[in-house]
Amino acid sequence: MTEARISVLCSGNGTNLQALIDSCASDAPDSIKGKIVKVTVNRKGAYATTRAEKAGIPTDYFNLVKDGYHELGEKDPAKLKEARLRYDADLAKRILQDKPDLIVLAGWMHVLTTNFLRPVSEAGVPIINLHPALPGAYDGAGAINRAYEDSKAGKLKDNTTGIMIHYVIAEVDRGEPILVQKIKIEEGESLEDLEWKIHGYEHDLIVKATALLAEKISAAKALKM
């Protein structure tokens, strides 16, 4: 089969995962030409697990504490850093066992170190992530809230924020953008309304970007057959 093998990493409810699942199952011309081979979660009770199981997709709950990388409540920065590096190295091994062609971070709340990024890059597997901000703006956590506060303070250019799908590199949210969507913050709009609006755009953009890369991967695999 030449379809792209996709591994998805999630931490929470999995609404973006659901959008990916639905597109993979669709016969629409613009649907994802690929198969989700594994959904990995790092938080107990993440509903993404249920979504994957309902779709018949294998899941893996892999957690820093549960799997013995550090004790619950550990505060020592050196121990936490060492645990994170070991966890990321082992996470890469687990993901690569499935021989994915593409890794999609869909609400994955864990910044990946080079101990994950290096072996995945060496295996030739691209990693993409969804970030709720325009390129170069509001890197890291709390991006929607920071854009909203700047909008209220009159500091946001054209009162416009956005979202992007980008390649993942060591610098957080600084990888090359694949697709970008600008989103206007309307006068009188609440933070909650803005969050809902942005999440709606997220589902569409993550599917479009995944479909775009899956198409290229499938075409490249077909040429090798």
So which residues are the catalytic ones?
131
Please name every residue paired with 179 in a beta bridge, in sequence order, or none if there are none: 165
State the DSSP H helix or E strand holding residue 179, giving kind and residue range, or none if neither: strand 177-184
What b/e sequence results for 76-105 when a residue is b if at least 16 CB atoms lie within 10 Å of its CB, and e otherwise?
eeeeeeebbebbbeebbeebbeeebbbbbb
Alpha carbon separation from 188 to 148, 150, 184, 191, 197 (Å, rounded): 11, 14, 12, 10, 14
Q: What are phi and psi of 60, to 5 degrees?
A: -140, 115
Please name every residue paired with 183 in a beta bridge, in sequence order, or none if there are none: 161
